[in-house]
Amino acid sequence: MIHTKKEQLKQFTDKYGQVCKENGHINSELYDEYGVKRGLRDNNGKGVLSGLTNISLIQAYEEKNGTMMPCDGKLLYRGYNITDLIKGINKGNRFGFEEITYLLLFGELPNSSQLKEFKKILTASRHLPTNFTRDVIMKAPSKDIMNSLTKSVLTLASYDDKVSDLSISNVLSQCLKLISVFPMLAVYGYHAYNYYACDDSFYIHRPDENLSMAENILRMLRPDKKYTELEAKVLDIALILHMEHGGGNNSTFTARVVSSSGSDTYSVVAASLSSLKGPKHGGANIKVVEMISDIKAHVGDLSDEVAVKEYLEKIVDKQAFDKSGLIYGMGHAVYSLSDPRERIFRNFVEKLAEEKGKNDDFKLYSMIEKLAPEVIAEKRRIYKGVSPNVDFYSGLVYSMLDIPLELYTPIFAMARIVGWSAHRLEELINMDKIIRPAYESIVSEKNYIEIDDRTFD
């Protein structure tokens, strides 16, 4: 006997969920028969060409003797190699988030006066409507900060009397506003949840107009508002490396698809956030941290390469961790030999590990970085090389910065909204048609009259 509506619903959905599976299944052989590139990628993993962009370039192959061969990965922002940009920022001993945001949005590096003016605009945009924190962020707080962030973004649309104005100047204004307030929306959302659900202290630290984006994130997050210069510098580098990665990544493509329909900026960003939160996209660094914790719990001697490798083999064989067969943080949809972002990040991670007394953790990550490609190559049939991606080390960095797990993906969003904004502007400037790919229908027509032998009371 069913006692509650909830139980009644569960019984129904358990039954008809199976019906959905049976009637919704499509034979995988049909995809090859119809020439469908699943995931909009060919069998070699290369994405289907669906647009043009002048914002960034990802290179994983180069031509040698008339043949395209895998090469060390390269990432360009508006034509500038990301490695050179990071070197320049590091050499100048400055924070680079605002500078690279200017580059991605406007297509050129700012001079000192342009950067000064831009920083003032970002600071002026870094405020929320009156009582927004109380009336929106603190109402029905969620442990899922990405959902909280999405709710806040959509609610901000209610405060914008030009929400549907698609002029480039207005969209730019909206984008700058969202770039500026993302850290506030996410960090305040985290504090609100802890206050109500975990009976923790609730404190709101307002951003300091004299600080960089990275410094303000740490200032707002920590009770004492304190951080070291290296901590802020490493977070700044992390934000820059996560800012942009071509128009084909899932969340950025979402931004372009929704923009092409003529929708407003808040809806576009909310859709991109919903895409980013998936564990196959922005949530990957969380899975890396969880996987490392699992390895620590099951391998007695973490300095023993043989023992670590044997456990990695169990993970790939779907006998350990989440039984997905994946070593998280390894491999990339585009890169083959190396992810340039990971190579840059690794050096900063090592310095931070030394400052934080986490050298043993760094050694374990380095060991897995070496062993995982070997295990995957031995166990799996792969069409290209496997190397660590930027998410492999980002989780370690965030943990060393005492950033809670719930904010890992929101921090990714704080960076990637810059890329979303640049692509939204580019889509609107060049938009001609709504993006509408085709799906081949394999349904057979049925005659309703002839088959309708059902009886009804």
Q: What is the pLDDT along the chain (457 residues), one digit of tens a residue?
A: 557 999 999 999 999 999 999 999 999 999 989 998 888 887 767 788 889 999 999 998 787 888 777 788 899 999 999 999 999 999 999 999 999 999 999 999 999 999 999 999 999 999 999 999 999 999 989 999 999 999 999 999 999 999 999 999 999 999 999 999 999 999 999 999 988 777 777 789 999 999 999 999 999 999 999 999 999 999 999 999 999 999 899 999 999 999 999 999 999 999 999 999 988 888 888 999 999 999 999 999 999 999 999 999 999 999 999 999 999 988 777 777 788 999 999 989 999 999 999 999 999 999 999 999 999 988 876 656 688 888 899 989 999 999 999 999 999 999 999 999 999 999 999 988 999 988 899 988 887 766 666 666 6
Burial of 168 (0-12, 13-18, 19+ CB in 10 A): exposed
Closest CA to 288 of 374, 361, 186: 361
Closest CA to 117 of 176, 175, 63: 176
Cα(107)–Cα(54) distance, rounded to whole angstroms? 8
Alpha helices in 198-316 (DSSP H): 213-221, 229-242, 250-260, 265-276, 284-298, 305-316
Active site residues: 332, 391
pLDDT value for 384: 60
Task: Using DSSP, state whether 72 is helix, strand or coil.
Answer: strand
Burial 21-47 (b: 16+ CB within 10 A, else e): eeeeeeeeeeeeeeeeeeeeeeeebbb
Which backbone phi and psi does 242 adopt, to 5 degrees?
Answer: -95, 0
| Token representation of residue 67 | 């043949």
Which homologous superfamily does the CATH classification assign to the domain defined by 125-275+411-430?
Citrate Synthase, domain 1 (1.10.580.10)
| Token representation of residue 354 | 């030394």
Strand partners of residue 58 = 75
Burial of 210 (0-12, 13-18, 19+ CB in 10 A): exposed
Q: Are 222 and 402 in contact (CB under 8 A)?
A: yes
Neighbours of 203 (CB within 10 A): 13
pLDDT value for 452: 62
pLDDT value for 453: 66
Cα(128)–Cα(218) distance, rounded to whole angstroms? 19
- Tell me the residue type at 197: A
List the 80-81 sheet strands across, edge first.
56-64, 67-77, 80-81
Cα(203)–Cα(180) distance, rounded to whole angstroms? 20
Residues 6+ apart with CB under 8 A from 331: 376, 386, 387, 389
Tell me how many degrees the CA angle 363-369-374 measures, rounded to the nearest 5: 130
pLDDT value for 202: 79
pLDDT value for 166: 97
C-alpha pair distances (Å), 34 with each of 427, 441, 442, 444: 30, 10, 10, 16
pLDDT value for 258: 98
Q: Looking at residue 133, what DSSP letter applies?
A: I
| Domain residue ranges of the chain, discontinuous segments joined by + | 125-275+411-430, 284-400
Closest CA to 279 of 243, 347, 329: 329
pLDDT value for 197: 74
Cα(363)–Cα(356) distance, rounded to whole angstroms? 14
Q: Residue holding tokens 């990695």?
A: 312
Separation of CA 431 from chain center: 25
Residues 6+ apart with CB under 8 A from 423: 53, 55, 247, 252, 255, 256, 259
Q: Residue holding tokens 């300095």?
A: 303
Cα(216)–Cα(239) distance, rounded to whole angstroms? 13
Residues 6+ apart with CB under 8 A from 202: 191, 192, 194, 195
Q: Are 26 and 439 in contact (CB under 8 A)?
A: no
The DSSP annotation for 370-389 comes to HHHHHHHHHHS--SS---B-
For 284-400, the fitting CATH number among 3.40.50.800, 3.40.50.1100, 1.10.230.10, 3.90.980.10 is 1.10.230.10
The DSSP annotation for 152-203 comes to HHHHHGGG-TTTT---HHHHHHHHHHHHHHHHHHHHHHHHHHHHHHS-----
Separation of CA 342 from chain center: 15
Closest CA to 267 of 410, 163, 418: 163
Asked if the domains at 125-275+411-430 and 284-400 fall in one CATH topology, the answer is no
Burial of 233 (0-12, 13-18, 19+ CB in 10 A): buried
| Token representation of residue 323 | 């039984």
Residues 6+ apart with CB under 8 A from 134: none
Separation of CA 74 from chain center: 19
